[in-house]
Structure formats: structure tokens, C-alpha cells
Structure 1
Amino acid sequence: MQLSAALWRVIAGTTLVVLSFSLLNPVMAVRLEHMGTSATAIGFFAMLPYLSVALLVPFAPRLFKRVGVGHAYRIGLAMELVACLGYLFTASYELWCVLALSAGIGSAAAWNATEALIAHNVPATHRGRLTGLYQTALGAAMAVGPLLPGLVGLGPQGANVLAAMGLVVGLMLSVGTDITKLRASREDAPHMSLWSAWRAHPVLAWAALTGGVFEVGLTSVTTAYGSETGLSLAQATSIAGALGMGSFLLQYPAGWLADHMSTTKLFAGAGVILLLSAVGFALSPHWPSLMWASATCWGAVGGALYTLSMIRVAHDFSNSSAVAGTAAMIACYTLGGSVGPLISGVVLDHWGLSGQAGWLGVLAASLLLALFHMRQGQISQTQG
């Protein structure tokens, strides 16, 4: 598969960013829980990076046009590094929230740049597999990051330092003029707004939002819940590790399947599995291993929903703007990642584990309902 060295370096740098993020966030959640912070406040903190990404991504096409995709990618990584270093020098919840917002702004640039570059530059015959391979690398990073405290014996400060080191290496990989020469859309492509992209593919957008809730919106709150039940730091963060491991295992197979069969069928299968995982989570007090099994499903299937959404974007926006298409999906995915921990925190505080399982089940069912309505609309158009 012939891709430029610059694009491979971007992919590697973004993988390191995700590794650092997945290492640090669960540890921060446990630190907040040890400080006596409520699940709602922890969920609010975990929501902020994703919320700022969701709010800033709509402006990404204009930013890329003004400063270039490569420069925007570097600026984003630098902002994430500054925020990560800031966590080392304060224990203020309020300041942590400001830093989380700053990190999210950086992520909006770096993330959208990477996804748009992949969607625009990968040949159509290999889009599913390359996108799946990229998401597999991110899934591996998500799986390994939360497990490092237990594997290496890191405390909170050590985890923070290691996360910062990963961001430094990622930033170094982005150095070079070849990065700034990469393009993410055709020069003659007409402008497309995010609203137009959403209107063109509403079910795709909802699938991305659902994927965001399950893959990244449950990590911190579920880790804190595990700690609250008496699990050690290593055991509690291993729940997030199971979620990341699920994401690692399924993304390449999902991409390969997308190259060979209907993505609509794959979306429907994902909805059914997520619905069953919510039932499993409700039963976890009786069978504790189901907590890890459900988390594995959330990472695997939630990640697959995002992967499949991006594959469809690469196909459906090939003649227009990959930047607008990927930005629309990222905005929905990060919206899911931002509201997921907040809603989960509130639900856990007021209705406990059964309430959490209930709202996740409703979300999974809503995806199946959206797919059913889309299918009915397609049948009506065909008959008409």
C-alpha cells in the first residue's frame, strides 16, 4: 500500500497522542475519586475535552484553509502537550477543567487533520483495511495506556510524566516540510458545510455519536465506578483497558468487512451487540466478570461504529470535501464522548448501575430504530 512517509508519520504521531490520553485520563479520574469528587463532577471533567472538540471541529475546514493541514496538526499537538504538563503542577479541579478544554482544542485540530488526510489520500480499494488498521493502532494505544499503571507500577505523577513524553515524541514526528505539503481535499472541490454533511447522512452521524458514547464516553466514569466498588487502581483502570482492548481487536476486521459487504448490515449487527452488552452490565453485580466483558464490547463495537462511519465518509465525500465529511463525523463522535460521561455520572449518582444499563440499552436501540427508518425510506423511494 503506497502511502507517503509524511502520512505514516502523522498516523504514528496520532497513535502516540491517543496512548498518552488513554494513560492519563483514567488515572485522573481515580485521583479525583480519591479527592472525594462526585461521579457527576468526574463525568463533567471527562466530558470537557470531547465537548471542546465537538464545538471546535466545525471551524476546522476554515482553520485548515487558513494555516494548512500540517501546521494545524502541529499546533494541536503542542496545545495537548501544554495541557498535559499543566496537570503536573496543580491539584485544582477548576484549573484541571481549563486544561482539559485546552487539550480538547488541540485535539480538534490534530484529530480532524489525521482523519481527513487518511480519507483523502488512501486509494478506494484499500480504504476499509487502511482505516481499520489505523483504528486498530488507536485501539492498541487505548488498551495499553490504562494498563501501564499496573504493568509498570506507575503512580499518578509517573503516569502524567510518561503521557507528556508520548506527546513530545508525537510532536517531533510532525517536524518536516513534507508534513505541510499534505492535502486533505481536492483543490477544485466545492465548499461543503457540516450542516450539509449531517443532512446528507443523518444515520451515519447518529452511528458516530453512538460510537463516541460507547468507545470513549464510558471510560472515566466506569473506571471511577470500579474504584468505588473497592477495586485497586490497577484493577479499576483495567476496566478501561478492557474497553481499549476490544477496540484494538475489532477495528481491522470491521474495515476488512466494509470492503466486502454492506455497511448497513454491519451497523445493525453493532446495535444488537451493544444492546446485549447493556444487559450484561446490568447483571455484573451477580457475575463481576460481565463488567469487563461489557467494557470489551463497548470498545470493540463503539470503535467499529466510528471506523465504519469514516469508511463511508471516504467513499461518499470523495468528490467533495473529506475535511467536511470527517469533521461532521468527528463532531458527532466527540459529542457522544462528551455527553456520555456526564449522563453516565448523573445516572450512576441517582439510579445506580441499573439506570446506567438502562440508558445505554435505549441508546443502542435508537441506532437500530434509525437504521430501520432509513431502510424503510429506501424501500419507499425504490417503489416510488
Structure 2
Amino acid sequence: MTPRDRKFWILTLMVLIAGFSQGMLLPVLAVMLEETGISSTANGFHASALYIGIILAAPFLEPLIRRFGYRPVILTGLITIILSLAAFPFWYAFWFWFALRLIIGIADNLIHFSTQVWISSESRPDIRGRNLAVYGLAFGLGFGAGPVMTMLIQVHPSLPFILSASLSTAALLLMLQIKNTFPETGAAETSGVTMLNRCRSVWSKGWVALLPAFAYGFLEAAIHGSYPVYAMRFGIDLSFTTIFLLPGFVIGSLITQIPLGIASDKIGRRRLISIVTGTGLVLFSIMPLVESSLPLLGMLFAASGMLLGSLFSLGIAYLADLVPPSLLPAGNMLAGVLFALGSMSGPLLTGFLIEQIGRGAPYAAVVLMLACVFFSGLLYREPERMGRAGTVVYSPPE
């Protein structure tokens, strides 16, 4: 194995562990807070702390990497996550846990942004797509396995945090074996000069392609952060929820990542996004009617994951169809911020609806969100000059 390959697999394993910690926190804390008797709205607000941290870190990531390199930024994120996870069992308090979640959100963004840019910049062009697909798959596997840790609460409430902190320590030890490198400085030093104007231009040209990022964040956080609370309140078996329903959604999304990407090349991104959101809307509308049949409910969760689990990547690909390459960095930053905003609003709206309408609330929240994306796609008018697979054709400068 070459040093570059070894570095790639270490980074991939580290991202899997980071995904595991993130996937563990949402349902574990949701269940533990529910057992303390707080409202589901407050529980949803608490889940948003992780994504507030992601947004707070966003403006500082590129300057930090340029100054210190990739490895110190990643190590800082890992050390912060380890200390924060280890601190959870020491004080069972709403605002203390909120602060720890916010800190972990900042640390998560340090890790994910750094590793994604590092892998993208150092992968050969002929294997870059494969490497990023493996990267995404590793995070998805870790995130999908995280909810299983909810079962350890019954053994001891500290066990999920101890296990996750131990795995993060192992990732830290692996990272110490990688040499530090720095990103290329030419484009990075000028990218922030007109960032606000770039963001405005991206939004005006491709707002419809940014909505799937918000939708995926909303969906992922609402399911993992609020559905365990809903299950506890309305008699849906918690073991089935954390072992089959939540991982089933994630596993379904992993199975169809590549096939849906290929399909979007053939039939067009806009059409495929409309198909998956429209069909997903129907599936979530049916779910309240089949809650008494857990196997059928599990099948619907898996099917919805297969359809909707690629919304983020489909949106990013669609954005590349709609805006010129010079605007893609700003577009990807906006997509990340909208993902975080969706992840914050998902548990908040779902928790509020659980309080207000009770049974069927999580499905209603998701249906409302998917309906917004679906009808926005129908209303949007693409540029007239289109190339193959819906790609906008730009004329070179005169």
C-alpha cells in the first residue's frame, strides 16, 4: 500500500468514526432528555445545537487550514470531540449538554471540511469520484450504526459516550501517523474577496438546486433526533426503532447512492429530484396508516431512504449543471449552511408538531418539507441553453 493510499484509508476510517459519534448523539440524547420529562419542542431545540456549531465554524475553516494545514485542524477537532463526549456523563443538565453539542458541531465541521478538501485535492482525477464516494459511504455507515448505541442506555447511560470517545481516541492515534500538508494557496487567497457577491449569484441562478441540501438535513435530523421521542410517546417499540427503522433508512440511502447518480446523468437531475421527492412524499403520507405493522413500517422507512438519501449529492450535482465552475466553491458552502439550517429546523418543527397534533407528527413535518421542494422544482424555469444531461453550456469569454 502506497503512503497516499494509506493516508486515504486512515482518513476514511476516521470519517466513519466521526459519523458514528454524530449518529449516536442525536437519538441517545433525544431518549435521555425525553426520560427527564422535557417537552418534545425543547428536545428538538436541543438537537439543533450540533448544527448551530457547524454554522458558527463555517467562516473560519478555510483560513485555519491555510495557516496550519489539514492535520492540526483535524486533530483539534478530534481532541475536542473526545473531551466533549467524555464530559457528558459528569453533569446531566439541559444547558450543559446543549453547550457540549454546540462544541461538537464546531469540531465535526473542522473534521469533515478538512478531510473532504484533503481527499479531493490529493486524489488523482481518474479516481477522485470513487474516493469521494467511499468517503461518503464511510460516513453513512458510521451514522447509520450510531443509533444502535441507544440500546446501551439500558445497561448504563454513560456507555454510549464512553464507547464513542474510545473510538475517537483510536482515530486520533491513527491521525498522528499522517504527515501534515497544506492546500494550494493561489485560488484560496482570493476566493473570499467577492464571496458575498458569489453567494448572491449562486442563489439567483441555482436556488432550486440548494433546496435538496436543506431537505436532506431536515429529513435526517427529524428522523434521528425526533422520531425516537415520538416512538416512546406513542408505543412504537424503541428497540425496533433504533435497530431497524433508523439504520434501515440510512442503509437504504447507501444502496442507491451510485444508481441514482447514474440515473440523474441519463434523465436529468431536475426530473429525478422531482420523482424522488414526489414518491417520498407519498410514502411518508402512508406511514401513519401502517404504524400497527412494524415490518411494513420498516419497509417504508427503507424505501424512503433509498429514494431520499441521495438528495444532498443530487442537489450538488444539479447545482453544477446550473452555475459556472467559478461559482461552485460558493455554492458548496451555501449547500453546507443550508444543510445545517435544515438539520436545525427539522427537530424543532417535528418536536413542535408532536406537542400540537400528536400522532403522525413526524410524517406530517417531512411531508410539508418535501412538498415545498417538489413544487419548487415544478415552478423553476431552467436556462434555455442546455447541454447533455441538463448541463448548462457556457460560452468562453471573448
TM-score range, shorter chain: 0.7 to 0.9
CA distance in 2, matches of 1:311, 1:5: 29
Q: 1:151-190 alignment to 2 at 5 Å?
A: 155-178=156-179, 180-181=180-181, 183=183, 187-188=186-187, 190=190
Q: Structure 2: where are the runs of 5+ without partners?
A: 387-391, 393-398
TM-superposed CA distance for 1:284, in Å, is: 3.3
Aligned counterpart, 1:116 = 117
Bigger shift: 295-304 or 40-49? Answer: 295-304
Q: 1:228-247 alignment to 2 at 5 Å?
A: 228-238=233-243, 239-247=245-253
Aligned counterpart, 2:198 = 196
TM-superposed CA distance for 1:151, in Å, is: 9.0
Aligned counterpart, 1:303 = 309
Aligned counterpart, 1:20 = 21
- Sequence identity of aligned pairs in percent? 22
Which of 280, 283, 291 is equivalent to 1:277? 283
Which of 334, 339, 346 is equivalent to 2:345? 339
Which of 215, 224, 227 is equivalent to 2:229? 224
Kindly provide the amino acid, as one letter, of the partner of residue 146 in structure 2: G
TM-superposed CA distance for 1:145, in Å, is: 2.0
CA distance in 1, matches of 2:176, 2:320: 27
TM-score, normalising length: structure 1 = 0.85
Q: Structure 1's 63 and 355: CA in aligned 2 closer, same or farther, altered over 3 A?
A: same
CA distance in 1, matches of 2:358, 2:197: 36
Aligned counterpart, 1:266 = 272
Q: Structure 1's 177 and 27: CA in aligned 2 closer, same or farther, altered over 3 A?
A: closer
The CA RMSD over aligned residues, in Å, is 3.3
- Contact (CA 8 Å) 1:211, 1:305: kept in 2 or not? yes
TM-score, normalising length: structure 2 = 0.83
Partner SS state of residue 218, structure 1? helix
Partner SS state of residue 253, structure 1? helix
CA distance in 2, matches of 1:257, 1:203: 19
TM-superposed CA distance for 1:345, in Å, is: 0.3
CA distance in 2, matches of 1:45, 1:152: 19
CA distance in 2, matches of 1:283, 1:115: 41
CA distance in 1, matches of 2:20, 2:121: 25
Q: Structure 1's 372 and 316: CA in aligned 2 closer, same or farther, altered over 3 A?
A: closer
CA distance in 2, matches of 1:352, 1:231: 13
TM-superposed CA distance for 1:90, in Å, is: 1.4
TM-superposed CA distance for 1:294, in Å, is: 4.2
CA distance in 1, matches of 2:330, 2:10: 23
Kindly provide the amino acid, as one letter, of the partner of residue 334 in structure 1: A
TM-superposed CA distance for 1:114, in Å, is: 2.5
Larger Rg: 2
- Contact (CA 8 Å) 1:80, 1:103: kept in 2 or not? yes
Q: Structure 1's 380 and 361: CA in aligned 2 closer, same or farther, altered over 3 A?
A: farther
- Contact (CA 8 Å) 1:206, 1:367: kept in 2 or not? yes
- Contact (CA 8 Å) 1:246, 1:296: kept in 2 or not? yes
Aligned counterpart, 2:57 = 56
